[in-house]
Amino acid sequence: MKKFVNIFALIFCFMFSGFAMAKDASDEIKYLKKVQVNDETIVTIAGVINYVCPKLVKNASKLCNKKDPVGSAVAFQKQLLGKGTIEDLDDLDDDDLKKTLKKRKILHKEGAMQFYDAVEQFKKHFAPRKKAKAFALKSKWKEASLHEEMAWQYLVKCASRGIFAKKMVDGE
Amino acid sequence: MLNFILRKRQLGLALLVSLLAFSGSAETLKEVAKKRGLTDKDLLAAAKTYTPSGKKDEYLVFSSGGQAGQLIVYGVPSMRLLKYIGVFTPEPWSGYGYGEVEGMHRLKEGMIRGTKITWGDTHHPALSETNGDYDGQFVFINDKANPRVAVIDLKTFETVQIVVNPIFKSEHGSSVVTPNTEYAMEAAQYPAPYSNKYVALTQKNFNEIYRGGITYWKFNREKGRLMPKQSFTVELPPYMQDITDAGKLISDGWSFTNSINTERYIGGFGNGNTHLKHKLANEAGMSAKDTDYMHIVNWRKAEKLFKAGKFKKINGHAVISMKDMVKANALFLLPESKSPHGCDVSPDGRYIIVAGKLDTHATVYDFKKIKRLIDKKDFAGKDPYGIPILDMQKSIHKQVQLGLGPLHSQFDKEKGIVYTSLYVDSAVARWDYLKGKLLEKLPIHYNIGHLVTAEGDTVNPDGKYLIALNKLAIDRFNQVGPLHPQNHQLIDIKGKKPMSLLYDMPLPLGEPHYAQMIKADKLKPVIRYKKRSFKNYVRPGKERVERKGNKVTIHSTAIRSHYSPEVISIKKGDHVTWHITNVERAQDQTHGFTVDTYNLHASIEPGETVTLKFVATKSGVFPFYCTEFCSALHLEMSGYLLVK
């Protein structure tokens, strides 16, 4: 179970050291390295989703699909929100929130809310990554590198929330 | 054979290694106790208070922060500190009083005669009540030094109102609430003229112009605010009114207030007095008589007089005269041991316990007897202001000798059991106020003032724990200079066992004064703010800087790990209004905000919009940044305010 946390720790070390090594590299190399780091981080995040998702919902076999972790995460968010918004859940007091989540077959209130936030952060990385790719296609490496960097920031935030969610569902 | 011997040796070696490893890594409870010199009693106390990580406390304590002007929140039995709430004093972490308009407005509300006062002498917190039980919605606290009362909303644990008493110059018997929080009461302390004019301190003026009083602040629960226009003061003689309690159940509608210096003595001791040099010190003359007076007020009748317009306005505030109160049979005096302190109404509302302070006794008054005397108009006399005096002996249920310096009392779940602090003895007395019998005394360390039991001043005390609120611990903790920490001592009062001391908690703030202990599950605070409830909410994508003349309004958002906008140019002399919305929803994603040199700080909780106002009086380059470690890229969450 601690494997994922360790993987995160390794990835953070790798990411930070990679960043330091890339200091004098060209923008193109920086961009390509960051793409690699981000791809690997996404693989790790997918692992966390596959680990946490079945512990958060009652109908895990229907909702959590190991072959499609991002789809699982989005499906989890839909189940959490029902027909409402996250603000609707935020407006509930604690007892009502517990009742609502129980009705929606959510198993772990705190873990679920952290996981929701992790997924929100993850979703934010798509836009800068898309822009980074577009700049890369035009060989605008500095802009591509900056946007890929921004995507990485969101992945880091996703990772930190994902670790919280995992700790909570595991009762660590 | 050799192989067998070798194998045996290897096995023995392996066993020895594992034994050594085991003894080195896993200490037993006995070993730890021996190393640290802990007794079985200590271990039992630790087991009763230790709260493992992630486990919550059964009770929360709201404790006065004394001269720090704050309110302190901690858990019981763990004694873990949870929060300091800025009330009369700016609080830097939350940004209360550092440019953020809400906090600035609160502190401005507390201005007296145009003077901004940035400290307070908080004494007595009072949790709001429904039918005499804590309801966990609000807490009130007073400022003795600058007569004020504050309201803290327990949804947010933030100060939402400060009201200034328009006629008092000091107070003490506050805050106390009536059983359904109809009123928060505030009794004056040092008599003074109601007006703000100079009145020479002569005995004649003191007797005729200087006054005491009790203010009944009307509370509107829906609005969560005290209503000054619906509030009134009952005029009282220039005795020093002191600790106050509200009646409950059979005594509902009445309030009881101790007093000192019913001698109306004015001292003048020592060199340097500008006049009255011939007199002895206050303390000599103020304790000359054997008795002082408990003031008994029928506040429901006072309320009727107020509603009937029987009052005069002083400094814009309604004051009901002693004369009208006496005429309405709504004000009485009852002798009590001289210079008393605590005045505590029993859970059933029938008994009022007054602790002697200079007497070794506590006196238990019976409200039924008091009421009978009032109804029959059986009075022992009148004071110089025409207020009827009840007969002390005819009002007493019991008098019990407890020890030296009895001060305050709190009640147990068990009927008739009460705990009283003994200041001079440095002890807590457990006794039976119905039978009039002292049961037990426990030494504490030292200088106990108030004490608190779980829900111990409500109609349903919970017992279990008592905290002795001790002043200036002289030998309990490591030395930290000549000003000692306060000591909140947790005591186990469960069952019929002897009381036992569990834990010492030092608090490096002001004198603890009073505290109240509420069941934690009664509190329902919000976890995060509702973004849409803030009128200046800045939606992501709508960030902007607007200018109208020299008025600049900045609409910002904050999210891990950036502010938008990040670079803002303005001109010297601009009046800046800066709205910042924390657009996060994760409950621990608080962002701080500060701008170099301008003495600004805000703590922006998820969903919250804060507004800071300041005038750009200095030109230059001013970095701003997030002061909470909000994310891995926290240090990068920054920007520049450029003032041309």
Can you give the CATH number for the domain in which B279 is found? 2.130.10.10
Question: Measured between CB atoms, does B530 come within 8 Å of chain A?
Answer: yes
Domain boundary among B334, B365, B396: B396
Residues A101-160: tens digit of each pLDDT:
999 999 999 899 999 999 999 999 999 999 999 999 999 999 999 999 999 999 999 998
Judge whether B82 lies within some domain: no
CB-based contact B531 A87, cutoff 8 Å: yes
**How far is it, in rounded angstroms, from Cα B644 to Cα B634?**
28
| Contacts (Cβ under 8 Å, ≥6 apart) of B20 | none
- DSSP letters of B470-512? ESS-SSSS---SSSPPEEEEEEE--TTSPPEEEEEEEE-SS--
Residues B323-350: tens digit of each pLDDT:
999 999 999 999 999 889 999 999 999 9
Q: How far is CA B250 from the centre of its chain?
A: 27
ipTM (interface pTM): 0.75
Question: Measured between CB atoms, does B527 come within 8 Å of chain A?
Answer: yes
Question: Measured between CB atoms, does B634 come within 8 Å of chain A?
Answer: no
Residue B635 DSSP label:
G
Percent of chain A with pLDDT over 70: 85
Residues B264-316: tens digit of each pLDDT:
999 877 777 777 777 788 888 888 888 999 999 999 999 999 999 999 999 99
Q: Residue B13's pLDDT is what?
A: 46
| Residue A25: band (very low, low, confident or very high) from pLDDT cuts 50, 70, 90 | low
Q: How many CA atoms lie within 13 A of B291 on its CB side?
A: 15
Q: Residue A18's pLDDT is what?
A: 45
Largest CA distance in chain A: 55
Mean pLDDT of chain B: 94
Question: Measured between CB atoms, does B531 come within 8 Å of chain A?
Answer: yes
Answer with the residue of higher pLDDT: B46 or B631: B46
Mean pLDDT of B21-38: 82
Q: To which H or E segment does residue B85 belong?
A: strand B81-86
Q: Residue B1's pLDDT is what?
A: 43
**How far is it, in rounded angstroms, from Cα A92 to Cα B526?**
9
Judge whether B141 lies within some domain: no
Percent of chain B with pLDDT over 70: 96
Q: Residue B269's pLDDT is what?
A: 72
Neighbours of A54 (CB within 10 A): 18
**How far is it, in rounded angstroms, from Cα B624 to Cα B197?**
47
Rg of chain B on CA atoms, in Å: 29
Judge whether B637 lies within some domain: yes
Mean pLDDT of B37-58: 97
Model confidence at B130: pLDDT above 70: yes
Report the candidate in B453, B476, B457 with the shortest Cα–Cα distance to residue B465. B453
Chain B residue whose CA is closest to A155: B632
Q: Residue B59's pLDDT is what?
A: 98
**How far is it, in rounded angstroms, from Cα B512 to Cα B488?**
8
Residues B370-408: tens digit of each pLDDT:
999 999 999 999 999 999 999 999 999 999 999 999 999
Residues B184-237: tens digit of each pLDDT:
999 999 999 999 999 999 999 999 999 999 999 999 999 999 999 999 999 999
For residue B515, give how far its alpha carbon lies from the nearest alpha carbon of chain A (Å): 27
- DSSP letters of B533-561? G-TTPPPTT--EEEEETTEEEEEEEEETT
Q: Residue B184's pLDDT is what?
A: 98
Q: Residue B596's pLDDT is what?
A: 94
| Residues of chain B neighbouring A121 (CB-CB closer than 8 A) | 560
CB-based contact A93 B607, cutoff 8 Å: no
Domain of B583? 531-643
Total tally of structural domains belonging to chain B: 2
Residues B316-327: tens digit of each pLDDT:
999 999 999 999
| Residues of chain B neighbouring A93 (CB-CB closer than 8 A) | 524, 526
Model confidence at A17: pLDDT above 90: no
| Residue B61: band (very low, low, confident or very high) from pLDDT cuts 50, 70, 90 | very high
Domain of A162? 2-170
Q: Residue B249's pLDDT is what?
A: 98
Q: Angle, to 10 degrees, between the axis of helix A69-81 and the axis of helix A27-56?
A: 50
**How far is it, in rounded angstroms, from Cα B467 to Cα B77?**
10
Hey, what are A1's tokens?
Answer: 């179970």
Q: Residue B267's pLDDT is what?
A: 83
Question: Measured between CB atoms, does B533 come within 8 Å of chain A?
Answer: no
**How far is it, in rounded angstroms, from Cα B449 to Cα B471?**
7
| Residues of chain B neighbouring A119 (CB-CB closer than 8 A) | none
**How far is it, in rounded angstroms, from Cα B119 to Cα B389?**
39
| Residue B25: band (very low, low, confident or very high) from pLDDT cuts 50, 70, 90 | low
CATH of the domain at B607: 2.60.40.420
| Residues of chain B neighbouring A113 (CB-CB closer than 8 A) | 586-587
Q: Residue A91's pLDDT is what?
A: 79
Domain boundary among B338, B362, B396: B396
Q: Angle, to 10 degrees, between the axis of helix A109-124 and the axis of helix A27-56?
A: 150
Chain A residue whose CA is closest to B588: A114
Question: Measured between CB atoms, does A157 come within 8 Å of chain B?
Answer: yes
Chain B residue whose CA is closest to A167: B54
How would you label B119-157 residue by residue, b for 16+ Cβ within 10 Å and e otherwise?
bbbbbbbbbbbeebbbbbbbbbbbbbbbbbbbbbbbbeb
Q: Residue A29's pLDDT is what?
A: 93
Total tally of structural domains belonging to chain A: 1
Considering only CB atoms, A157 lies closest to which of B532, B585, B631, namely B631
Judge whether B339 lies within some domain: yes
Q: Which of residues 581-600 of B touch A (CB under 8 A)?
A: 585-587
| Residue B180: band (very low, low, confident or very high) from pLDDT cuts 50, 70, 90 | very high
Q: To which H or E segment does residue A6 belong?
A: helix A2-21
Considering only CB atoms, B524 lies closest to which of A93, A113, A120, namely A93
Judge whether B210 lies within some domain: yes
Lowest-confidence pick of B44-48, B271-275, B550-554: B271-275
Q: Residue B6's pLDDT is what?
A: 45
Coil, helix or strand for A163?
Answer: helix
CB-based contact B530 A86, cutoff 8 Å: no
Chain B residue whose CA is closest to A117: B586
